[in-house]
A = this chain, B = another copy of it.
Amino acid sequence: MSMPDNARADVAVLGLGTMGVAIARALLADNHRAAVWNRTPTRADELAEAGAQAADSASDAVGASELVLICVTDYDAARAVLGSAEGRLAGRVVVNLTSGSSAEARSLAAWVEDRGARYLDGAILAGPADLGTADSLILFSGSQAAYDEHRPVLQAVAGRATHLGTDAGLASIHDVAVLAIMWSLLNGFLHGAALLKRAGVRAEAFLPIARSGIGTTAGWLDEYAVQVDAGRHPGEDATLATHVAAMQHLLDETHSAGVDPALPSAFKALGDRALEAGLADSGYTAIVDLLLEKQER
> A interface vs B, CB < 8 Å?
99-103, 125, 127, 137, 139, 160, 162, 164-165, 167, 169-170, 172-174, 176-204, 206-207, 209-214, 216-218, 220-222, 224-226, 228-229, 237, 243, 246-247, 249-250, 252-254, 256-260, 262-264, 266-267, 269-270, 284-285, 287-288, 290-297
Contacts and interface: CB of A to CB of B under 8 A. Distances in A.
Copies in the complex: 2
B209 A222 contact: no
A292 B185 contact: no
A231 to B, nearest CB: 10
A234 B246 CA distance: 34
A102 B253 contact: yes
A296 B258 CA distance: 7
A133 to B, nearest CB: 13
B217 A295 contact: no
21 contacts: A127-B237, A137-B212, A164-B201, A169-B199, A172-B253, A174-B209, A178-B192, A178-B209, A180-B263, A181-B185, A184-B184, A184-B187, A187-B267, A187-B270, A190-B291, A194-B291, A204-B226, A206-B225, A258-B295, A259-B294, A263-B270
